[in-house]
Chains A and B, each alone.
Chain A
């Protein structure tokens, strides 16, 4: 069962590229592969494409100068890990005169696969079917009654 996994990382990036990211392009903000244990695929949600770019490998890059602002810049990326679990990543970035600060928050998106695995989902389906069958039966009953009335009044 996937449990809720909230990761909060704080990176302090200066304007000089860090040797830690020597293998990555300059001005990398976040590497999703390092964050979620490796991703299989991702989907970019909200992102200002004039300031940021998400490369095809799941690396969030910063294009050029980010203006200093009181509000954090937000990027939402939904990724699927190698095990198939969906993770919702929110990356927030502040820029002031001294430095940039990046917050990353990752939440696993829970789905009700448990209920389906247990077979309980069939109970739900059966209930809805019964309700619909009842409505359908009533419709058919009404239809017969109306047809009978129409025949009677037609004669």
Chain B
């Protein structure tokens, strides 16, 4: 299909742009590592599940917000005009959202791995946790991307995208944190229920973004 292939092409293009900008991937890795190291120095190995879950999701949130808010911020006005003519708005937002979701999925899982390495894993079922981290990060990333789009169209930059994005990311984070808590404390059935919830939130974010972005892009 023509639109699918153009989405895929654009996603590959985003990836190449990201590789070219040194600030991109290295910045994300640096954010995750630095926050983890600081947390480790302060707290050491964590035994209580609630503290573990809270810290994990704060660190992940930090890195997701940072990387997703950069997705629309680096568009110069010239590039915006170019994009306006090249791609349909739905394709653009899907490409950017899917790219950010994939990127944050991977970076979230890597961050989770380093977190487990440093802070230990107080019990818990590893596959479920991994799935929760993956789906949760991608849901939050989809929301963050859309809020970055809103902020860039309004012309006020990445600070606004954080203000807009964080309240809306709260349901995702709450679901992810509750699910992780259940996963650590042995309630596997409930944890899988939260995975389902996060998948729904993911779909909701992508669907709403796809439907609403054309109105934003008219500007």
Touch between A and B in complex, CB under 8 Å?
Answer: no
Binding site for B on A (CB under 8 A): none
B residues touching A (Cβ–Cβ < 8 Å)? none
